[in-house]
Structure 1
Amino acid sequence: MDRPYTILSCAMSVDGRIDDTGPDRLRLSNEADFAEVDELRAECDAILVGAGTLRADDPRLLVRSAELRARRRARGRTENLLKALVTRSGEFDPESRFFTTGDAGAVVYTGGPGTDAARRGLSGRSSAEPSAEVVDAGDPPTAEAVLADLARRGVRRLLVEGGGHIHTMFLTSGLVDELRLAVAPFFVGEEDAPRFVMPGTFPHSPAAPMRLVEARALGEVAVLRYRLDGRCPGATASTGESGGRGASATEGPVLDTATRGTEGERR
């Protein structure tokens, strides 16, 4: 299939919440996990979030490590990833860090009335800023349309980082190849707290479960990695390039303890 190898990465509480209802971002992981996610980003070509994540977190979505950025440059790549935003309304802050940082540009996927709204939002940006364009991906946007456009741009590995509506859109589409979950050792316990996924019809049901290929402890955080279909990363040009911890395959579940850590944050 001519689409990027798609990895969905998320940190959540034991009760499946990806934040609480407080004004500050809830820390759901630790420095060792942040470092691994940074490595995973560095091995991908594009990173995708939804407009809700943009509004809540104002993320930069950059590769944090100078060593990893240098490795990308040595391979003839941009230091950072192409950024992708999915929004139905087309409403977002064009001055957010998503648009003003990085060196690979950004693509906004929307549709219907959202297309004109998104183009108006980007119209006043300076030509000196990283490039950004709007693509009609349907009304509402679909994972199929987004992945098809990214493939045309040469994206071979895509990292999806939230939030709950985006997780649901991609997981219910059956177009996610790998799921990486970091599970924090606590409960949020708030009914209105954002969830990992929303209700939906998921192809991976009790009758067709995902395949657990890795289970590890990073301090008190549990990292679980699932394969959602039989594709092997790096098998063809359309499934992505191999290399890096996030791309490696582990035959069967393993458990170890990693002590490595670095400065950084998931955003």
Structure 2
Amino acid sequence: MSCRPASARPYVLLSCATSIDGYIDDASDQRLMLSNEDDLDRVDAVRASCDAILVGAATVRRDDPRLLVRSASRRADRLACGRPASPTKVTLTARGDLDPTARFFTAGDSVRLVYCASGALDKARERVGRVATVVDGGEPVDLEWVLADLSARGVRRLMVEGGGTVHAQFLTAGLADELHLVVAPFFVGDRRAPRFVGEGRFPWNPGRRARLAETRQIGDVVLLRYALSDRCRDA
């Protein structure tokens, strides 16, 4: 891994939807829909405001996300401002186990960055090196270095869309500035299903509460927007 770029890290916004009991999916093979159409449009607007969107490799494999701005008018606005139609796509992988036919790599014309653990670098480059830029992220992948490298590439605002392991890594490292947490009006109730985050030492605890910056009802879901650093100043 090269020396860490001498740049401030991007503003990091975490986005997640959960059931009432804190699950981000169920244990079936089908993706669980937690948000509604109005909330998905809100997420699309947030995407359009960002320079890059990051998900973990497990999310690429399980959900096969496109990570594109859906709204034609928002894409047009970005292009009119000299920006690409959709943000840069970013993923993190420890094993290099990625499929080059996944929509992360094939949908849209966005720049695609894969930050890979050093030990799996050759494997990742063999698999997806023709469809993405594969970057040595350290062993294990160093999130602070990744953020500094993204900043050096012009990323000022980063949206992290999961999954739970990646969210936990950003949160426990104190590298998140804002959290958008949407709560869907139902329970999953299956311990086999993935949760928002697992165990960990989080900077926000009973002795240091995160600041609730906004609550908003969006149809049958509720958005809770938390300010997690002094960089998130708007109430």
Q: Normalising to structure 2: TM-score of the pair?
A: 0.95
What stretches of structure 1 of length at least 5 have no aligned partner? 126-130, 234-248, 252-267
Q: What do residues 146-171 of structure 1 show as CA deviations (whole Å, max 9, x unaligned)?
A: 10110010000000000011001101
Q: Which residue of 2 aligns with 1:87?
A: 93
Q: Which residue of 2 aligns with 1:5?
A: 11
What stretches of structure 2 of length at least 5 have no aligned partner? 1-6
Q: Which residue of 2 aligns with 1:155?
A: 155
| Aligned residue among 63, 73, 84 for 1:67 | 73
How far the C-alpha of 1:101 sits from its partner, in A, is: 1.4
Length, aligned pairs only: 229
Q: Measure, in 1, the Cα distance between the counterparts of 2:122 and 2:204.
A: 36
How far the C-alpha of 1:143 sits from its partner, in A, is: 1.6
CA gap 1:232/1:217 in 2 versus in 1, 3 angstroms:
closer
Q: Measure, in 2, the Cα distance between the counterparts of 1:190 and 1:104.
A: 36
2:55–2:91 Cα contact (<8 Å) kept: yes
Letter paired with 1:228:
L
Q: Which residue of 2 aligns with 1:102?
A: 108
How far the C-alpha of 1:104 sits from its partner, in A, is: 2.2
Letter paired with 2:122:
D
Q: Which residue of 2 aligns with 1:173?
A: 173
Q: What do residues 105-143 of structure 1 show as CA deviations (whole Å, max 9, x unaligned)?
A: 1110112221111111124x4xxxxx5111111111122
Determine helix, strand or coil for the equivalent of 1:159: strand
Letter paired with 2:214:
E
1:142–1:169 Cα contact (<8 Å) kept: no
Q: Which residue of 2 aligns with 1:140?
A: 140
Letter paired with 1:5:
Y
Q: Which residue of 1 aligns with 2:38?
A: 32
Q: Which residue of 2 aligns with 1:215?
A: 215
Q: Measure, in 1, the Cα distance between the counterparts of 2:53 and 2:173.
A: 18
Q: Measure, in 2, the Cα distance between the counterparts of 1:25 and 1:232.
A: 31
1:99–1:105 Cα contact (<8 Å) kept: no
Identity of aligned residues (%): 56
How far the C-alpha of 1:176 sits from its partner, in A, is: 0.3
Q: What do residues 57-106 of structure 1 show as CA deviations (whole Å, max 9, x unaligned)?
A: 11100000000000000100000110001010111101111001122211
Determine helix, strand or coil for the equivalent of 2:58: helix
How far the C-alpha of 1:53 sits from its partner, in A, is: 0.4
Q: Measure, in 2, the Cα distance between the counterparts of 1:22 and 1:232.
A: 36
Letter paired with 1:20:
D
Query: Over aligned residue pairs, what C-alpha RMSD do you find?
Result: 1.2
How far the C-alpha of 1:200 sits from its partner, in A, is: 0.9
Q: Measure, in 1, the Cα distance between the counterparts of 2:189 and 2:165.
A: 20
Q: Which residue of 1 aligns with 2:164?
A: 164
Q: Measure, in 1, the Cα distance between the counterparts of 2:128 and 2:34.
A: 32
Q: Measure, in 1, the Cα distance between the counterparts of 2:122 and 2:13.
A: 30
How far the C-alpha of 1:232 sits from its partner, in A, is: 4.0
Q: Normalising to structure 1: TM-score of the pair?
A: 0.83
Q: Measure, in 2, the Cα distance between the counterparts of 1:114 and 1:180.
A: 32
Letter paired with 1:196:
F
Q: Which residue of 2 aligns with 1:113?
A: 119
Letter paired with 1:150:
L
